[in-house]
Amino acid sequence: MRRKRVAVIISGRGSNLRALIGASEKPNYPATIALIISNRPGAEGLEHGIASNIPTLVIDHERFRDAPNPKAAFEEQLNDILHANEIELVCLAGFMRLLSDDFVNSWAGRILNIHPSLLPAFRGLHVQRRTLESGVKIAGCTVHIVSSEMDAGPIIGQAALCVQPDDTIESLTERILRLEHTLYPACLAAIASGSAKLIDGAKVALECASVPISTIATPSS
């Protein structure tokens, strides 16, 4: 089995990166984490790659602040490095920058992201605060293919849990994060193996039940 070469792009501690690395170490997993990139030099997540002997590098977006188009300059170097390393799929894992339409379109259907809500609900930032303020009873996370609109690309998989009466922002965030660590590797595997396919750029068709779609975690989760 030829495994797809994946780059994971981070900005912070990289807990989902660690989950993806752990899954990729299994011999039957259809993807290998071939490269880890951070836009922040001090990102804790880089240590996960170093510990697993995965090539890591930093493309500090601040270095391009004086360029005529800082975002374009940053993304040009990012794109060159991805191609130089023969990357086939990109996973965003806590990458705290918006990618341009040009970059997303050049990698159409090949960039995955995870978001801590059941999209299309609660796009953007401060998700768990907004979730608790809204009074919804079900929360969760979504893995989707990145599109030019923020947090709006075709959904690959979702996992859900019940919001508890005593949940705080911190407790809900932590419980959803545990779901993310299972969901993201499952969705990457589905895309890498071809059991999940993008149809007409608008939706993802699943050929098997390998991706959790509406898994409701128990209250103790």
Just list the catalytic residues: 115
Of the candidates 133, 180, 189, the one whose C-alpha atom is nearest the C-alpha of residue 161 is 180
**What tokens were used for 45?**
């997540």
Diameter of the chain measured on Cα atoms: 52
Helix or strand or coil: residue 116? coil
CA–chain centroid gap for 163, Å, is: 23
CA 182-169-166 angle, to 5 degrees, is 100
Distance CA 165, CA 26 (A): 38
